[in-house]
Amino acid sequence: MASGFETEDDGDDRGLLSDRIRNALTDEIATGTLAAGAALDEQQLADRFGASRTPVREALRQLAAGGLVELRARRGGVVARMTPERIMEMFETVAEIEAVCVRLATYRMTPLERSHLIELHDLSQPIVEAGDFDAYDSFNRQFHEAIYHATHNGFLAEQAIAVRNRLNAFRRTQLRQGERLRRSRDEHEAIMQAIAEGDGEMASRRMRAHMLNAATSLRRFIEANKPT
Amino acid sequence: MASGFETEDDGDDRGLLSDRIRNALTDEIATGTLAAGAALDEQQLADRFGASRTPVREALRQLAAGGLVELRARRGGVVARMTPERIMEMFETVAEIEAVCVRLATYRMTPLERSHLIELHDLSQPIVEAGDFDAYDSFNRQFHEAIYHATHNGFLAEQAIAVRNRLNAFRRTQLRQGERLRRSRDEHEAIMQAIAEGDGEMASRRMRAHMLNAATSLRRFIEANKPT
DNA sequence: AAGCGGCTTCCTGTATGCAGAAGCCTGCTT
DNA sequence: AAGCAGGCTTCTGCATACAGGAAGCCGCTT
């Protein structure tokens, strides 16, 4: 998430109401519970969260600033509606940013970080065998974020996480396509290989391909389920 | 500042109050009118803008989501305080993103866009001769944004602009250092050369170097003016 | 004299009230 | 019957009111 807020992890009972609402809405949008284009009525949301409109409004403003929600002046807000073109643009952007990250990480990561990453990667094997999509999604997130942090550039890591989060709903969808889970892990394997060899450029190219494969998988899914 | 947005300055009655406040604060932070670390008292800002606290709060939330302001729960907000380390991280991030952009742009730009970029670059010559920092800053922005758009990836362009905007104040400072203006243009020249040859990788490396040179120039300035 | 604790005061966070705009529905006109 | 106009409804945007936490201050204790 773009910085600026004290976000303690989601065990949130205490904390600001507007932050809790923001986190809840972020989650619902990311998981698709709130579909793209869904209208966001302030009073309705306020009732649902047992709050007044004020914290809801603040949450919506923050989400709008993050691009998850579109606010049209005096006409209310809707969950950001994304065209297939825009989704592809976002995937390409993530792919390029991830490619940058893995290149920097290859050159900068400490032995400890490298060890941690290898360990993480090894853990994904049984998950793939079991075909556990949710577990793999969670692992995948950890894997990529470990790479972000290994760049030793906190700002870049934040940006990467923020952009990645906006693609959450789509990435999860895409993982459920056919053999994508196993192929995803194979691609990770190839990336790990390049990292182990200290070849940042190679790791970068493989990461870009990895992300674009995911995008292609998603595009196929979108076109297969096209309503028209 | 040389805001490319058509946010008509103070004569603006139209539009949302919270948006006007947000734009005004963005501007003041970017130009340094509001120094980093400055406390942002809601009531005080409300009085200054002749509004109530409500739109001020909404503006602050949006700025926090964009990273320009830090909000500590129940303790008010301050203009994001950036350490030299963080500024360098931001510069590195911008450098990498710009490098990505110019590579994609080289391969994707239309002849019209290439022509426009060349024209823009040519216009910078007399500006450098005159040593007009403000004009060059404005040109520089146009030059880089033209490259963003030539990627034909709207989302990537938005991200690039957003990150770049957060460095506004520092980039302007840096341009005022010694021969930096002329060297900046020389580096643009080298980038244009690579674009003309259709060598995206070369353009990318040169762009990265260009941005890191700017960062180095800024770091020298910061250390030279270090209070301690 | 120094440290601590309670109090006071200010400021944030939330709720509610009010005005105006956007959209809709109804009824009139052609 | 279709189109338009005007009023009505609903929701947003802003202001104000209220409650609770945070920081500073003053006095008390040792």
* pTM of the model as a whole: 0.86
| Segments in chain B below pLDDT 50 | 1-12
- End-to-end Cα spacing for chain B: 30
Q: At what angle do helices B168-175 and B17-31 cross, to 10 degrees?
A: 30
Pairing mode, strands B76-79 and B69-72: antiparallel
For residues B27 and A121, which has the higher predicted lDDT (pLDDT)? A121
User: To the nearest whole angstrom, how far is the Cα of B154 from the nearest Cα of chain A?
Assistant: 7
Query: How confident is the model over A54-64, as pLDDT tens digits?
Result: 999 999 999 99
Measured between CA atoms, the residue of chain A closest to residue B152 is A89
pLDDT (mean) for A26-41 = 90
Asked if the Cβ–Cβ distance from A155 to B16 is below 8 Å, we say no
Average of per-residue pLDDT across A4-17: 55
Q: How confident is the model at residue A113 (pLDDT cuts 50, 70, 90)?
A: very high
Model pLDDT, residue B91: 94
Q: Give A 88-107 residues with CB within 8 A of chain B.
A: 89-90, 92-93, 96-97, 99-100, 104
Q: Which amino acid is at B210?
A: H
pLDDT at site A11: 40
Q: Is B178 left (phi over 0), alpha (psi -120 to 50) or beta?
A: left
pLDDT of residue B13: 56
User: Residue A54: its chain B contacts at CB < 8 A?
Assistant: 54
| Residues 32-61 in A contacting B (C-alpha not used; CB under 8 Å) | 54, 57-58, 61
Given this model, what pLDDT does residue B3 score?
A: 32
**Chain A residues with CB-CB distance to B156 below 8 A:** 89, 92-93, 96
Q: Mean pLDDT throughout A66-91? A: 91
Q: Is the CB of B58 under 7 A from strand D?
A: yes
Q: What tokens were used for B136? A: 């060059």
Task: Over range A157-186, report the average pLDDT.
Answer: 86
Residue B160 to chain A, least CA–CA distance (Å): 10
Report the run of H or E that residue A23 belongs to, with start and end. helix A17-31
Rounded CA–C1' distance between A36 and D14, in angstroms: 29
pLDDT exceeds cutoff 70 at A1: no
The residue lying closest to nucleotide D12, measuring its CA against C1', is A74
How far apart are alpha carbons A223 and B21 in whole angstroms? 43
How far apart are alpha carbons B114 and B193 in whole angstroms? 12
| pLDDT value, residue B5 | 28
Q: Closest Cα to residue A16, out of A64, A49, A65, A43?
A: A49
Looking at the complex, does the CB of residue A156 fall below 8 Å from at least one CB of chain B?
yes
What pLDDT is attached to residue B14?
A: 63
Asked whether the predicted pLDDT for residue A228 surpasses 60, the reply is no
| The pLDDT of residue B227 | 58
pLDDT of residue A225: 73
**Closest protein CA to C1' of nucleotide D15, residue:** B52
Q: Is the Cβ of A3 closer than 8 Å to some Cβ of chain B?
A: yes
Tell me what pLDDT residue B122 has. Answer: 96
pLDDT of A178 higher than 80? no
Do B195 and B102 form a contact (C-beta atoms < 8 A)?
A: yes
Q: Is the dihedral of CA B26, B31, B34, B37 positive or negative?
A: positive
CB burial of residue A12 (10 Å; 0-12, 13-18, 19+): middle
- Separation of B45 CA and D23 C1' (Å): 21
Which alpha helices (H) appear in chain B, and where do they start and end? 17-31, 42-48, 53-66, 84-108, 111-130, 133-150, 154-166, 168-175, 180-196, 200-224
Q: Residue B135: what pLDDT?
A: 92
**Average model confidence (pLDDT) for chain A?**
89
The residue of B14, B26, B72, B159 whose CB has the most chain A CBs within 10 angstroms, and thus the best one to mutate to test that interface, is B159
